[in-house]
Amino acid sequence: MAPLRLGLRTRFALLALLAALAGCGSSSGGSPTVPADPSISAFSATPALLTRGATVDLTATYRDGTGTVDHGVGALASAAVAHATPQEATTYTLTVTGNGKTVTRTASVDVVAPPVQPVVQAAAQATEGQTALAASVPAQNGCTFAWTLTSGTVTAGQGTAQITFTAGAPGSLGISCVATNAAGTASAAGTATCTVVAAPRLASFLATPAILTLGDACGLTAQFSGGTALLQPGGIALTSGQTVQVTPTTDTHFTVTVTNPLGVSTALGLDVQVVAPPVITAFSAAGDWLPMAQGLTLSATFSGGTAVVRPGNRTILSGTALPWTGPMPDRFELAVTNAAGRVATLRAQARPRRAVALGRNGSWMLKDDGTLWVCGQNATQMPMGYPDWTPDTSVPTRNAALTGVVSLVGNQSGALALKADGTVWHLEANGTFPAALLPGLPAITSISSSGNHNLALAVDGTAWAWGSNFSGELGDGTTTTRATPAQVLGLPAIEGLHAGSNSSFAFGADGTVWGWGSNYNGQLARASGANVQAPVQLQGLPFPASLALTGNGTFALDFEGRLWAWGNVPGSTNPTTVTRQTDLPGAVRLVSDSRLAAALALDGTLWTWGPNYSGSLGTGDFEARSSAFKVALGPVLDLATDGASTLALLQDGTFWTWGDNSAGQLGDTIPVDRTSPVDLAISSPLTALAASTWSTAAVTADGGLWLWGQDPRTPAYRFLTVPTSAPGFAPLARVAMGLYQGLAQRVDGSLWRWGWANPVSADDGFSAQAQVTGLGPVAGITSPGSSTFFVLQDGTLWAQGNNSSGNLGDGSTTTRPTPVQVTGLTDVRQVAASSWHTLALDGAGRIWAWGDNSYAQLGDGTLTSRTSPALVPGFTGVTSVSAGSTFSAALLADGTVSTWGWLQPLAYRAPPAVLPGSANTRALAAGQQHLLTLQADGTVRSIGNAGNGQTGQGTFNSLATLTAIPGLTGVQGIASSGYTSFAWGATFAKGWGQDAWGSLGLGRIIERPTPGRIEGHTAW
């Protein structure tokens, strides 16, 4: 029999019936249970939106019944999950049946179509960085689109079916797009590829130069990448970094365009300016040898640029005169520069007046009025009676014999003077003698001298030389000195010459530089170091506007104001290498001697450098300078130097000097040697004075000590050029001066010294002030040269120091660094000594003598020297004695003076004899070879050698008879040492003779390290 098939409703009904029957049969005895109605708490479909073919999860929460879901889902237990795959939008109904009742709830599901893999459309090629590129895919309903680029940037449309983007780096650009429907289902990525090529780039486009002179080429250079480049005008293909030379004839705009394979291009342009070349038609310096203050006039005709005259870089206009009144170089250069930097130059030889010169201890000065003045030593010593003879002169003296001089240069025998007519004249010594015309020279336009050899430039451009030829500096192929000028052969036409030390330079009109002579220190910048006896062209040297040649090397100032040097100069490691030196602002001229170099600037500034012999650098000291020192003087127009002395002409027309003044060449109106007494600036009357060769000391009425000359209170021996108070010694009674020490005795009897303990040398026991002990009470002191004598109150005599002539009197010739007693003397009242012999006066008025007797100065009638005292026969009642270097003198009781030995210019006196004209003498003072006597009437007489003016007669003529010194009256005391003399009275003190190291106290010293003006003179 076939099984019974019941429908769903039938099955539910039977189940309910069975349940009821079961309840009726209960034997619990309670009330029957009432069945609950079914209820649904929740019914949902997840997700509510899904892609067709996707599964939805159906879940329900209900009670008291059984649930089913339609659309073929079937039974769904509470809290269980049923799955369905709807193909379209579907509403699911949950039906829960129980207790004869049914409840329902629905849940809807929206079904969308799945996305389709996009098909990407995009450009196949693009340029790096190209913008507004497009990519697209077909639209899909309800879908969004996600785009991805392997390089570059999406700029718009992200999420849509079409985007715009910017291309990235060169290469393959991958484009990817994914479509996503509303249910979040993503499609497979659609892709496309775009080839990105490099963008054209122009890093730079330059023209070198951008402004050029007509006819010159211009270099055009482009730095580019990413394509090919084309230059216009010209259609020239370029390679990156390549320079193409073009020669435009007018102002031109150039463009370079770089294009990549896709036709994308970029371009840069520039302008090239074409200017006319500078052209100089004429350049000249007019006003040859005019006074320095008046200067000269430069004129030029040119076109195509702006112009300066150099060195100095002074602007000049075409056709307009330029006055030049400052320091002048040896030659000028006109430099015309156009806008392109093209420079045209033309030199003009200057013929400036060289108004100052130094040579052979003399100074020459050419004033603006054309007069020639000179001061310094009369080195030739022309015989007296010669019509033009003059003594040394330390004040400017006019040389009226030579007129028409336009330029000066000093040398070792005097000076050379160039006249306007082209002749050259030789001036001997101080230039007061007749000038000598140098024969054999053509018309000369300039002269130069090293001091030992001379060069002259002729109007026709030839060079001439004469003088010393030790190193071949005359350029004649020999080393034979020549006194007459001869032409230097082997040179082109010359526009300038320079003589320095033992070398010579010539500057060709063709711009070449030539040299010959000494190359020992690389002065010629030649590698061998050997001397050159004939002119050779020198390579690698700047063509100078001015040259300075020292004994060690050469300095050159080029026209652009740059300073160069070669040879053995400071900072040089190779003498042949031309090295740049520190520039001196505005420098236009160099001046030199073998020991000094100097530079003058356009504004008159003066720089100096070198060894600084005698203070010739003007630095205020004697220290060498390896670099330029700015001298506190100016503005300076002209300068001359001989390495030891320097002479400057200032713009105000005054002359200033400094350095060595041993021959009065500084012309400061206070010469080294004074032939007439001159006042000393001491504020209190003198009571005592002592002098050595270098130093002077005086005691004033108030007991004060005054010093001048070399000051032994300092180890470095500073110079006191005027009497200077020395504190700490007063009150003093007497003083003595030696070469290396000074001695002073206070009124309390104590003895003090300054300087070195040993009077023989500066080698031990220095003190600025020290008490001398170890001797008894002292009654007198004297310190001739390097010996010292002490007269004690007990009448004994003690001595120390140099004893080479037995002059200490101890029976030996042994030098004594400490005092020893003079043998055989017990009643000494006074001692007088030279550096070689000594005199002592005892209480009986007798004279004792010892030491050197080469000139019979010991008075015993022999020439035999003695190392111990012996009586000078024939003397009693003598009141004082004095000792010169080769003679002796005694003041007798009757007021006459007796001398013996050799007092120049008298004949030898042996034995002693009374000096004619010596009556009424009350004091003596002997110098090296002269004698002063103080008369009872307060006048002073002199006799002897006057080579340094020490006799005070106003001349250098020696005296054979005692002669009154003019103008000296009221004298109370006299003193003398070496070649120096002094006299003083109640209201004055005077000195004359040699002024070694300022020992006259007249306000200057032999060597002046700072500039001093040559003051006006009655004839000046």
Per-residue pLDDT tens digits for 444-501: 999 999 888 999 999 999 999 999 999 999 999 999 999 999 999 999 999 999 998 8
pLDDT at 724: 77
pLDDT at 979: 87
Highest mean pLDDT among 1-15, 323-337, 686-700: 323-337
Question: d(Cα 692, Cα 676) in Å, to the nearest integer?
Answer: 20
pLDDT at 466: 95
pLDDT at 785: 81
Place of tokens 């003059």: 390
Is the bond preceding residue 248 a cis peptide, omega within 30 degrees? Answer: no
| Mean pLDDT computed over every residue of the chain | 85
Helix (H, G, I), strand (E, B) or coil at 781: strand
Q: Which DSSP string do the residues of 24-35 spell out, in sequence order?
A: HT--S-SPPPPP
Per-residue pLDDT tens digits for 827-847: 999 999 999 999 999 999 999
Per-residue pLDDT tens digits for 616-666: 888 877 788 889 999 988 799 888 888 888 888 888 877 787 777 665 555
pLDDT at 587: 92
pLDDT at 788: 92
What percentage of the chain reaches a pLDDT higher than 70? 86
- 361 confidence band (pLDDT: 50, 70, 90): low
pLDDT at 485: 95
User: Can you give the pTM of this predicted structure?
Assistant: 0.59
pLDDT at 386: 30
Per-residue pLDDT tens digits for 35-94: 899 999 999 999 999 999 999 999 999 999 999 999 999 999 999 999 999 999 999 999
Provide φ and ψ at 222, rounded to 5°: -120, 135
CA 384 to chain centre: 51
Least confident window among 50-64, 374-388, 553-567, 598-612 = 374-388
What single DSSP character describes residue 685?
Answer: -
Closest by CA to 415, choosing from 391, 432, 401, is 432
Q: Collect all residues with Cβ–Cβ distance below 8 Å to 652 and sequence separation of at least 6.
A: none
Least confident window among 690-704, 782-796, 933-947 = 690-704
Do 575 and 518 meet the contact criterion of CB atoms below 8 Å apart?
no
First to last CA, the chain: 175
pLDDT at 551: 79
pLDDT at 592: 87
Residue 370 CB: number of other CB atoms within 10 A?
Answer: 14
Least confident window among 248-257, 319-328, 342-351, 356-365 = 356-365
Give the dihedral sign, CA 46/47/49/54. negative
- 15 confidence band (pLDDT: 50, 70, 90): low
- 3 state SS for 412-462: CCEEEEEECCCCEEEEECCCCCCCEECCCCCCEEEEEECCCEEEEEECCCC
For residue 1019, is pLDDT > 70?
no
Place of tokens 């005795």: 745
Do 140 and 181 meet the contact criterion of CB atoms below 8 Å apart?
yes
pLDDT at 1018: 31
For residue 853, is pLDDT > 80?
yes
Helix (H, G, I), strand (E, B) or coil at 1004: coil
Interval 728-742 mean pLDDT:
81
pLDDT at 765: 59
Q: Quick one: 540 exposed, middle or buried, by C-beta within 10 A (0-12, 13-18, 19+)?
A: exposed
Interval 550-560 mean pLDDT:
89
- 17 confidence band (pLDDT: 50, 70, 90): low
787-792 and 778-782 strand pairing: antiparallel
Closest by CA to 137, choosing from 157, 167, 152, 112, is 157
Question: d(Cα 901, Cα 853) in Å, to the nearest integer?
Answer: 8
Per-residue pLDDT tens digits for 341-357: 999 999 998 888 887 77
- 723 confidence band (pLDDT: 50, 70, 90): confident
Per-residue pLDDT tens digits for 571-616: 777 888 899 999 999 999 999 887 889 999 999 999 999 988 888 8
For residue 301, is pLDDT > 80?
yes
- 3 state SS for 218-252: EEEEEEEECCEEEEECCCEEECCCCEEEECCCCCE
Place of tokens 């003051």: 1015
Closest by CA to 191, choosing from 209, 179, 203, is 179
Per-residue pLDDT tens digits for 396-438: 667 777 888 888 888 877 788 999 999 999 886 544 456 788 9
pLDDT at 93: 96
What percentage of the chain reaches a pLDDT higher than 90? 58
pLDDT at 382: 34
For residue 858, is pLDDT > 80?
yes
For residue 330, is pLDDT > 90?
no
Question: d(Cα 552, Cα 547) in Å, to the nearest integer?
Answer: 14
pLDDT at 392: 45
pLDDT at 389: 35
For residue 1020, is pLDDT > 70?
no
Q: Collect all residues with Cβ–Cβ distance below 8 Å to 986 and sequence separation of at least 6.
A: 685, 970, 972
For residue 235, is pLDDT > 90?
yes
